[in-house]
Chains A and B, each alone.
Chain A
Amino acid sequence: MKLKGALLLLLSMLVVFLSGCEPLLVLDPKGPQAERQAHDIMISIWIMAFIVIVVLVLLVYMLVKYRASKLPEDYEPPHIEGNPILEGILIGVPIIIVAFLSIVTVKSNYIVENIPEGYEDQEPLVIYASTSNWKWHFSYPEQEIETVNYLYIPTNRPIEFKLYSFGPITSFWIPQLGGQKYAMADMVTTLHLAAETPGEYTGRNANFNGKGFAENTFTVTAMTQTEFDEWVDEVHETAEPLTEDEFNQLLEPGHLGRMTFTGTHLDFSPAPEHEHTADDEMDAEHEMHSEHAAHE
């Protein structure tokens, strides 16, 4: 009876888990990349739930049918070496499942690593996102502005984040727009996202980087392109320019509120784009060669 109770508990936990999916951040996507990931997650949850149920049913069957108290005193279990057909099924079915999930994953890998589907014809908005303990610096080179700890982005436009760090490894993560990627001091990684619904989303550093890690967060506001352009104009009218001295002060460990500047730190503290080969290996290598040529 106790055993059945435990199994019941397990099943009810599973039900809670599955029915609780609706409001969970990761499963409430607001952009194409997060949508793809949520879709993969749900597929895998259902297939995996099926496997767990098969194992549970088999286990309960064995335990109920072959418990010593139910069997005659003189019952001698047989010696069974194995069965090639049965083992073929037990190996074959998992291989089919893994193969199916592999195909899904490989496809998704190329999707999440590239400009979101449906946005290929648009020029992505490039934003450099860098961390220093325990802050986020967002540079918009095209717009010539820089923000700290908050991000404004236009909806329905692909965004190309260039991630790096002025210190320990961090991980840039906006659950509702898409999964995370590391930001490191010695290379730049690229993350492609897009937002489809205007609204405010939370983002954070997901990789532990010391004392201030829990508060290493930022907010993302997605708005229409016109609103975004208005915001850019407003920043140019009201914000102070970012100087090298001021930026170096911002890098000191600690927490800061939201800040806005004109100009970007990329002019005096450029991203470590050619230190090591990053995602776009071909590109980086090519540029490195041309750089060498220029030196000679």
Chain B
Amino acid sequence: MEFFERFAVPNPNPAIYASMVAIVVVSLAIIFGLTYFKKWGYLWREWLTTVDHKKIGMMYLISAILMLFRGGVDALMLRAQLAVPDNKLLDPQHYNEVFSTHGIIMIIFMAMPFIFAFMNLVVPLQIGARDVAFPRLNAISFWLFAAGAMLFNISFVIGGSPDAGWTSYFPLAGTEFSESVGTNYYMIAIQISGIGSLMTGINMITTILKMRAPGMTLMKMPMFTWASFMACVIIIFAFPVLTIALLMGTTDRLFATNFFTSTNGGMDMLWANFFWVWGHPEVYILILPAFGIYSEVISTFSGRNLYGYKSMVGSMVIISLLSFLVWTHHFFTMGQGALTNSIFSISTMAIAVPTGVKIFNWLLTMWKGKIRFTVPMLYSIGFIPLFTVGGVTGVMLAMSAADYQYHNTMFLVAHFHNTIIPGVVFAMLAGLTYYWPKMFGFMLNERIGKWGFWFLSIGFVLAFFPMYITGLNGQARRMYTYSEATGFGTLNFVAFIGAGLMAISFCIIVFNIIYSFKNSPRNVGEDPWNARTLEWATHNPVPEYNFARTPHVASSEAFWDAKKRGHELFKGEIEEIHMPNNSGVPFIMGVIFFIAGFSFVFALWVPAVVALIGIFACMVLRSFEKDDGRHISVEEIKATESTYGGAHS
């Protein structure tokens, strides 16, 4: 291809041009706004260079919500295209790009940052720590994620988006069958953000193991911390596999190696194995923190301790182990024979047992409780039956002989959305509402929040339950159109309506944020929900140093026992607090990674090499840098505490 042809708009149609114009206009508006209001310094000092886990968490949160809308628009386009038979809204190539990017955006660039947002915001607070173990590494993780996300997002206007599905199976994803740079974007954008995820996993494990408050033994950790810990253990075992697979895929595409080609000794199914050895544990990386949030929310709003704490922890450990023993169920139909299929079928179904234990433990947490129907609780209540349906259809899919009939059909699509949306997205929205006052010091409006919940739940049921039926009726996934004779039309139209309701619900949720920002009273106090765990023992919003004095813990519900049984959380005098300094290097590294990634996508070797040297220069700089952090003086802490009403001074 000619040099400039590679950068051309892949799908020249009005919608793409409109998005290009929109991107330029919004970027200019942001630059103009920042200059006009003289906010460049504020942005740099307070956000771009921050190493504060709370601010990094908030940036993850904002990115996740933006990506939710990006992936959501993709979803709407897909459902609109399938709403009626023989629709001509999208051409096949465009449809392929849209469903491929929908999957990647939602898993890698929406769900992952969403859970990292809550890990960052909540874990250090729950264990009574001042920050994560490696604050600067945490900032680098975020900026690598951001670089990957940006790189991925420009693909649809520069050079073309990935079009081989979010699983990107070879040899379809190889240069022979996928000529555009789309799959290069896939390989490199996910690689960059994946490195960030791996570092977050290491960071969180170290934080949880080394920085717990005095008295907090492992079996006294709150459930969200346990869930995050197990998710991070899965991350550090699963992500290296993805890293290597993507590296091999990249060399196949850029340097004509033959790892996954169908000729010259390449093995296409090797990619599928690598992908799912990462990909199946990945779904538990997403779902375990979500389970953690449900545990906190259900326990808080039932006014009761979590039922079966030990079996909750045990079931998470078993789920994490089993998550690595099931990947082959993603290609039961590859022809590995009855014995292999039987083994993976049983190991997959076995996951239903610990998951069932968790469901029943949540139900039993409500038992004899005092249930308050707040927005976070509504999401958790909605989650239980919806996720159970998703779970049992998972067991159905796990039956390998029957899977021959479900494989690659809409039944499967219905199943995994049925687990991921009520499982992960509902949990993130519950967590968003629940932890909102912790982050910003005011509450989200309950009435508007409930509207959002009902639109989302009803929309969800309408959007995905019909797919079980069309799947059993022979509708394969990823078909851009179908004929009238197939009879899929009516149910797909219902699904389109459901998708529309879900879109409305996400708009309601954003409206709620804006409305509450304007109208909600500030200074809601420390404990607006009458909660049970340590993160609610400090102020809302949380001061920079989290806790003026380190808490002392004697139970898994330290804060509740402090309120009800008079445990003393904070002992002794306020002392000087040591905090890390801000640094611009993580942000700069993110930018350089972005440049390196873009150069690799288009095989521009000179800038790629320059950028790689830049990355090493940043690392060398760090190793010679003298930065011992800074201290917050006792006077300053006391002054800050008194602005909050002096609760702990």
Contacts and interface: CB of A to CB of B under 8 A. Distances in A.
A, B co-complexed: yes
Given A68-B372, A184-B269, A208 B92 contact: no
Given A24-B472, A98-B395, A168-B177, A77 B369 contact: yes
Interface in A186-240: 186-187, 189-190, 202, 204-214
B374 to A, nearest CB: 10
A181 B533 CA distance: 50
Given A62-B363, A109-B338, A179-B403, A48 B349 contact: no
B169 A168 contact: yes
Interface string B391-402: 011011011111
B551 interface: no
A189 B331 CA distance: 13
Interface residues of B, number: 95
B477 A208 contact: yes
Nearest to A13: B465
Interface string B77-100: 000000000000000110010000
B342 A171 contact: no
A6 B460 CA distance: 11
Contacts of A21: 472
A213 B479 CA distance: 7
Interface in B447-469: 454, 457-458, 461, 465, 468-469
Given A27-B472, A63-B381, A168-B172, A179 B401 contact: yes
A281 B337 CA distance: 9
A207 B357 contact: no
Nearest to B267: A186
A70 to B, nearest CB: 9
Interface stretch (B124-132, B238-246, B297-305): B297-305
Contacts of B461: 9-10, 13
A182 B177 contact: no
Nearest to A188: B335
Interface in B158-177: 163-165, 169, 171-172, 177
Contacts of B457: 6
B404 A55 contact: no
Interface residues of A, number: 100
A211 B370 contact: no
B153 interface: no
Which of B309, B366, B476 counts the most A-chain CB atoms under 10 A from its CB? Answer: B476
A77 B304 contact: yes
Interface stretch (A87-95, A258-266, A287-295): A87-95
Interface in A165-180: 165, 167-169, 171, 173, 175, 178-180
Given A80-B304, A90-B357, A206-B409, A113 B338 contact: yes
Contacts of A286: none
Contacts, number: 295
B337 A113 contact: yes
A105 B476 contact: no
Nearest to A211: B92
Interface string A74-118: 011111111000110011001100100110111011111110000
A82 B458 CA distance: 34
A40 B392 contact: no
Interface stretch (B213-221, B382-390, B534-542): B382-390
A51 B370 CA distance: 26
B473 interface: yes
A48 B367 contact: no
A68 B480 CA distance: 49
Contact of A20 (B353, B382, B469, B482): B469
13 contacts: A37-B405, A76-B303, A94-B356, A102-B349, A112-B401, A167-B172, A179-B333, A179-B402, A185-B268, A204-B476, A211-B92, A213-B96, A281-B337
Interface of A: 2-3, 6-7, 9-10, 13, 16-17, 20-21, 23-27, 34, 36-38, 40-41, 44-45, 48, 51-52, 55-56, 58-59, 62-63, 66-68, 71, 75-82, 86-87, 90-91, 94-95, 98, 101-102, 104-106, 108-114, 133, 163, 165, 167-169, 171, 173, 175, 178-182, 184-187, 189-190, 202, 204-214, 276, 278-279, 281
